[in-house]
Amino acid sequence: MNQKYIQHLYRRLGFGIQPNDLHKLLKLKRKEVVNNLFKASKNITPLELDTSELKSLMGDSYITAKPNIQKIQKLSRLSTLKLNHAWIERLTSPKELIREKMTLFWANHFVCEDNNFIYTQNFQNTLRKHALGNFRDFVVAVSKQAAMTKYLNTKQNKKQKPNENFARELMELFTLGVGHYTEQDIKESAKAFTGYSHNMQGGFVFRRREHHEGQKTFFGKTGNFNGDDIIDIILEQRRCAEYICEKVYRYFVNDTLNKSHVQAMTDVFYKDYNIEKLMHFVCTSNWFYNEENIGTKIKSPIEFLVGIKTIVPVVFKNERQLLNLQRLMGQILLDPPNVAGWKGGQNWIDSNTITLRLKLPSLLLNNSYISNSRTGQVDNQIKEKKHFFKRNYGGRFNVESNWNYFNQQFINVNINELDSYILACNLSPVAQGYLNTLEKVSKQEYCVQLMSLPEYQMC
């Protein structure tokens, strides 16, 4: 498998690959590389913080939790901040690469948030557990998570007065897409999810007295359906498989759908809704490596940030600075904008975010300084400029950059070939002309220069 294809695979299924790891794979065939990736992602490693204090404060009922509500909320906020940081660190060096990238994908599909940290953590690990599993089991598990029953009001869904929020989003956002169901389908399916609730610790509770017992007609079928039955009927529709494949294609392949490729994916997925089989099919298909799919997607803020950390490890000493950086770039993990999630694509970029993105590599890696030394410029002038930028901008982020790791990984890479490892797309004539005027002082300086180009925004 050639270098360009390996890099493309690892950028889409992860956040890039270091030269030393890349060079080990060059002698392998595509199938071997892909199989090894999926084999490494078989295991499930939950991302968990200690919740013993929270559980103790909450007790087993609202009555016992009520006196501690302020403490619970404060501790939940602090724990969510720590989980945000821990998730980004996990993405930077994951053991199960595909599972972690798929968890990030599903977090923007089954969109949910909650102010109780235990529910948040449970939901996030549910995404991780089912990320490469059976989609039917996945939807069922999501429908019974405490964070989801709260977020989409299933907890208030009772036979006397059905709440339609979850039933609507189940079809509109999670399984079918707009226009593939009727308002009557929403009303009937909402009845099937009545009685869904949870206990104080987040465990699923089915309150039979609040459940609508009786006939419901849904997608032309009539029966005394419960929530699981509704999900089964939805998955019988080929449109469900097609809808998921469209989202997978936009996220992992190209923002512009290729109908024939999506239909080929749907043929695979509709058979048994096995997510791993679908992703394996995508990664081994020739069209996945077509030129129009390489380096043509705009990185999400998290992909951009984690991509930088993958090349040069950066440790944020202040967790709130990391959170603020996500806010400035427009994507805070565990804090989606709404039930539809982030739109992605060109929506990631505007006049404010592009300025920050172009400046961020130098802010994190070089004390705010982007070397633009012309050929022949003396070292003293460069040092003076770096001192100026450090004094005026270096305090914006309290970080520690591990350039020793970078030097070890890139030790066998010639500085003139660095762009082929850092960038996913070809340099524009303007960018190439600009780089040609600069003196390549060191690999480190040149790395920052390359990361500060518009081309680095692509993956």
pLDDT for res 383? 52
> How far apart (Å, rounded) are the C-alpha atoms in residues 166 and 124?
18
pLDDT at 35: 98
Q: Which of 157, 110, 126, 139 is nearest to 232 (CA)?
A: 139
In one letter, which amino acid is 103? T
Distances (CA, A) of 318 to 94, 227, 309: 22, 44, 16
Give 329: exposed, middle or buried? Use CB within 10 Å, 0-12, 13-18, 19+.
buried
CA separation for the pair 164, 157 (Å, rounded): 8
Residue length, the chain? 459
Distance of CA 177 to the CA centre of its chain: 20
CA distance 132 to 167: 24
- pLDDT of the chain along its 459 residues, tens only? 999 999 999 999 999 999 999 999 999 999 999 999 999 999 999 999 999 999 999 999 999 999 999 999 999 999 999 999 999 999 999 999 999 999 999 999 999 999 999 999 999 999 999 999 999 999 999 999 999 999 999 999 999 999 999 999 999 999 999 999 999 999 999 999 999 999 999 999 999 999 999 999 999 999 999 999 999 999 999 999 999 999 999 999 999 999 999 999 999 999 999 999 999 999 999 999 999 999 999 999 999 999 999 999 999 999 999 999 999 999 999 999 999 999 999 999 999 999 999 999 999 998 755 555 444 444 454 454 445 444 544 456 889 999 999 999 999 999 999 999 999 999 999 999 989 888 888 999 999 999 999 999 999
- pLDDT for the residue 439: 82
Answer for the pair 155, 196: CB distance below 8 angstroms, yes or no: yes
| Whole-angstrom Cα Rg for the chain | 24
Query: By the 8 A CB rule, do 118 and 51 touch?
Result: yes
SS3 223: strand
Written as six digits, the tokens of 286 are: 């020739």
Name the H helices within 41-116.
Answer: 52-58, 62-65, 69-92, 97-107
Residues 6+ apart with CB under 8 A from 52: none
**Whole-number pLDDT of residue 104:** 98
pLDDT value, residue 375: 46
- Domain spans in the chain, listed from the N-terminal domain onward: 3-40+237-293, 52-235, 301-457
pLDDT for residue 397:
84
Work out the angle between the directed axes of helices 275-284 and 259-272 (0-180°, nearest 10).
Answer: 150
Residue 459 CB partners (closer than 8 Å, separation 6+): 11, 12, 295, 297, 298, 299, 303, 307, 424
